[in-house]
A = this chain, B = another copy of it.
Amino acid sequence: MIQLPEVIKNAVEALTKLPGVGEKTAFRMVLSMTAWRPQELETVGAALSALTGLQQCSECGMFADEDRCSVCANEGRRSARVLCVVENASDLLAIEKSGHFRGLYHIIGGVLNPLLGVGPDELGLDDLRDRISDREISEVILAINPSVEGDATCAYVKSILPEALRVERIGFGVPIGGSLEYLDPMTITKALENRKRF
Q: Does A188 contact B (CB under 8 A)?
A: no
Cα of A170 to Cα of B38 in the assembled complex, Å:
34
Residues 31-90 of A at the B interface (beta carbon under 8 Å): 31-34, 36, 38, 40-55, 62-65, 69-71, 89-90
Q: Does A122 contact B (CB under 8 A)?
A: no
Copies of the protein in its oligomer: 2
Q: Which residues of A contact B (CB under 8 A)?
A: 1-3, 5-8, 10-11, 13-15, 17-21, 25, 28-34, 36, 38, 40-55, 62-65, 69-71, 89-90, 92-93, 96-97, 99
Known: A6-B65, A11-B47, A71-B2. A17 touches B40 (CB 8 A): yes
- Can you name 26 A-B pairs with beta carbons within 8 Å? A1-B96, A1-B99, A5-B54, A5-B64, A6-B65, A7-B51, A7-B53, A8-B51, A8-B54, A10-B47, A11-B48, A13-B47, A14-B47, A17-B40, A17-B44, A18-B32, A18-B33, A19-B29, A28-B90, A33-B48, A34-B51, A36-B51, A41-B48, A44-B48, A44-B49, A45-B50
Cα of A3 to Cα of B70 in the assembled complex, Å:
6
Known: A19-B29, A32-B19, A44-B15. A2 touches B50 (CB 8 A): no
**B19/A28 in contact, CB under 8 A:** yes
**Across the A-B interface, the 5 shortest Cβ-Cβ residue pairs:** A45-B49, A3-B70, A14-B47, A38-B52, A14-B44
Inter-chain contacts of A90 with B (CB < 8 A): 28, 31
